[in-house]
Chains A and B, each alone.
Chain A
Amino acid sequence: MDYRPEVTGRLTELWEGRETGILKDSPEIYNRYRTEAFSEFLRLGIPDRKNEAYKYTNLEKSFGHRYEQYFSPKPGDFREAERFHCEVEDLDVWNMVLLNGFFPRGDEGLAMLPGGIWVGSMKAAARQFPSLVEKHYNKYAQNENDGLVPLNTALATDGLFLYAPKNTVNTKPIQIVNLLHSTQDIFAQDRNLVVVEDGAQMSLLVCDHAISPQHYLTNTVTEVYVGRNARFEIIRVQNQHNDSGKITHTFIHQERDSFASSNNITLHGGLVRNATWHRLNGENAETHSYGLFLADKHQHIANFVKVDHAAPNCNSTQLFKGVLDENASGAFNGRIMVHKDAQKTNAFQSSNSIIMSDTARMDTKPQLEIYADDVKCSHGATVGQLDENALFYLRSRGIDAREAKLMLMFGFAHDVIKNIPIEALRERIDNLVLQRLRGELSRCASCAIQCN
């Protein structure tokens, strides 16, 4: 039976109570899009497997669950977030903690980091930089493809705002620790906006942690504008638990001569789907999409990537790897679209997975749409076991079979990890991945909180 009408009904109830709910303390800049977005959501619905982009991903377990609380945290919940502190020793970052996608000190206004980057809540951003927000908000997110994006546009109330004005450079990476904590099962939606203006640089690390055992579902939309000659890096570390669902949609819009990279490291999570959209909107821009996941039990990890080459002379890479064990399943859907005028495009895509059990499963689907004639595009996908010859080579030097397998899996994963641009983090992730591959509980040692 289709579970969706009931869920849509529940969401519609929320929508109908908007006058006293969502709309009440939300700025008009955000409210103006809500009505149209909600009807778009009703038109598209919660994606099912008839949707090409969700062909291998079943959302029922996450969306069909009856959550006790929707969208907004209670004030009392924030105390937990304030107690949190990150223990990564060598990770030199500006650190901020969000709770279920929300800024604990929501209405306190934006803060400026040394170097000139603004950070704070979306609500505060609408007050402090109304014309900037107006210029960028909801301009890059695609509300017409996937029902979960307009659902977010219609009903998300707050989230993170980051703004690097022209030529500002963040002196240290910004780390956002997004805690999922609640005494109830919750469905949270956060909406984020990142603006990196011409010549500016920003490096952003987002760590997702579920710190209490409740059921969670998060539907996150993040819009990123990368101006001319600007640079933006985002690294996501997802370490949640088997009853948590995490859906992200990240839209990265790049102007000429810009650089962007996205790195999704999924260590744990019941259902994770990361959609990363890259739009190369100006000449000579470069973009990289990386992903690594480790999955076991009944976890499902999906990566969806779309790289839109809308201008000539741009380069893009997609490199995704996964290790699947037990009954885990994974999906990779990578699209490259080269528009008619995007001559001299270089686009590369690769997806490789290792299957450790007879019951694990991986589906990959590359899609190339090329309308220009002078382009270099390549794609390749492998799904397989560990290389027996390599395994024997290691064993023939006295390394036992278990350790040799670990080394090979680690080597496989490191190929993605090595692209993480922050050294201390790279080492940390190497470590976490090793721990995870060894079957030791991968609680993020860095975060001092036990999640399992």
Chain B
Amino acid sequence: MQTEFLIQIKDLKASIDNKEILKGLNLEVKPGEIHAIMGPNGSGKSTLANVLTGREIATVTAGTVTFEGKNLLEMSPEERAREGIFLSFQYPIEIPGVSMVNFMKTAINEQRKHRGLEPLSASEFLRQMREKKELVEIDSALTNRSVNEGFSGGEKKKNEIFQMAMLEPRLALLDETDSGLDIDALRIVANGVNKIRRPDTSVIVITHYQRLLDYIVPDYVHVLYDGRIVRSGGPELALTLEERGYDWIKKEADVSEETWTTDQK
């Protein structure tokens, strides 16, 4: 059965060390849509990104995630990536001794193999590297180094978007890609994302500031608080949050939780 959603998350619950972090999360994203997930620190945004990409820090205890009609939670991290899921890490990892070139070549060719394509020729690969580097204005010398090794905070974030450009995902999760960037770098990164996107590429932008959303304009904004999406709206919700902060959301959510638990009794 074809579904109109690219990804459909239903009643997702996940725990870390038996502590419930995601407490029944629902989200549906159609091809081409941009969703922003905002929320205070510690509300579970990165945990959601981890669960969607298969990082085993959190354990899924309930719910389903369907990606293009397939059960995402059954797949290994590499299978998810080959199916088209990409995470721009909040904290990109340094990998000494593994060169950027070798890393990207292996990643692209594994993905191509998955799609039944031949490996890229060396010249085509280098051409793509060059082209995508320009897109995010990443210093050429960086790609001659080991993965993220000795990169500044901003360079690491650019490198994430560079990888996104190389891998051309169906769904990109950007986890606080804006943090640690000055305004110029922010613009470069955000415009990079816009240039990479094809009409059917979906993006989930995780951020707790509005400023990135000036560049990557969302179709929907959701507020994640204490493991649940407590409010959804259009781009104007991000502006409201910018003005009023998260406290009113917290209060509202805590009140409704109380009402809810009282109702249960």
Q: Which residues of A contact B (CB under 8 A)?
A: 387, 389-390, 392-401, 403-404, 407-408, 410-415
Contact = CB atoms under 8 A, between A and B. Distances in A.
Given A396-B87, A410-B98, 5 more contacts: A393-B92, A394-B107, A400-B110, A411-B146, A412-B97
A387 B98 CA distance: 13
Interface of B: 53-55, 76-78, 80-82, 86-87, 89, 92-98, 102-103, 106-107, 110-111, 114, 146-147, 163, 167
Given A399-B78, A407-B102, A393 B53 contact: no
Contacts of B96: 411-412, 415
A390 B95 contact: yes
B97 A411 contact: yes
A392 B49 CA distance: 13
A398 B78 contact: yes
Contacts, number: 79
B103 A407 contact: yes
A414 B103 CA distance: 14
A341 B173 CA distance: 60
A392 B96 CA distance: 15
Contacts of A395: 54, 76-78, 81
B89 A393 contact: yes
A401 B95 contact: no
B111 A394 contact: no
A395 B87 CA distance: 11
Contact of A392 (B55, B98, B107): B55
Nearest to B167: A397
B102 A398 contact: no
Contact of B106 (A387, A399, A414): A399
A20 B95 CA distance: 61
A395 B77 CA distance: 6
B55 A414 contact: no
B76 A403 contact: no
B97 A389 contact: no
A411 B55 CA distance: 22
Contacts of A398: 78, 81-82, 107, 110-111, 114, 167
B128 to A, nearest CB: 15
B69 to A, nearest CB: 20
B77 A392 contact: yes
Contacts of B86: 396
Lowest 3 CB-CB distances: which A-B pairs, in order? A411-B97, A398-B81, A397-B107
